[in-house]
Amino acid sequence: MKIILKKAVANLGEVDEIVEVKNGYAINYLVPQGYAIVATPSNLKQHEETLRQRAHKEAKKVADAEALAAKIAAQPVKVAVKVSEAGKIYGSVTAAQLVDALVAAGLEVDKKDITVPEVKELGAYEAVVKVYKAVKATLAFEVVAE
């Protein structure tokens, strides 16, 4: 019997896969537990439409993320920090400081999505910003004295 999985099932398949299983397994376990639905022609047609719509939405999200990544890469920012006389900075540059600089430039990014290198002196650096799943941007920033 062909079924469409609604939840991932170990040793069987992932969500939205169409798999062939024995009738008893499908009727007595998978369907009543909500793990799957029977792959009737109408359910298959609805499943294809759902996948098509989901793919369209995903493509739009990726396009928006790539546009934001391009803006981030094109927008170098400056971070002002306190510096000792020897040129060493007190503390280090954090993701929160970079988020504040990006917000001032008009870009919304969450601080948990920024990977900041270790910064101990003044100069130019690059941080990696995870915009969406596989879409990442490189943020150029300069550390300057207050």
What is the per-residue pLDDT across 28-80, written as a single tens digit (0 to 9) for each? 999 999 999 999 999 999 999 999 999 999 999 999 999 999 999 998 899 99
**Residue among 143, 82, 87 at smallest CA distance from 117:** 143
Task: Please state the CATH superfamily assignment of the domain spanning residues 2-64 in this structure.
Answer: Ribosomal protein L9, N-terminal domain (3.40.5.10)
Task: Please state the CATH superfamily assignment of the domain spanning residues 68-145 in this structure.
Answer: Ribosomal protein L9, C-terminal domain (3.10.430.100)
17's tokens: 């896969």
pLDDT at residue 91 greater than cutoff 90 = no
**pLDDT: which is higher, 84 or 1:** 1
Q: Are 78 and 142 in contact (CB under 8 A)?
A: yes
> What is the per-residue pLDDT across 127-146, written as a single tens digit (0 to 9) for each?
999 999 889 999 999 999 88
pTM recorded for the entire structure: 0.73
The structural domains of the chain, with segments of one domain joined by +, span: 2-64, 68-145
pLDDT at residue 87 greater than cutoff 80 = no
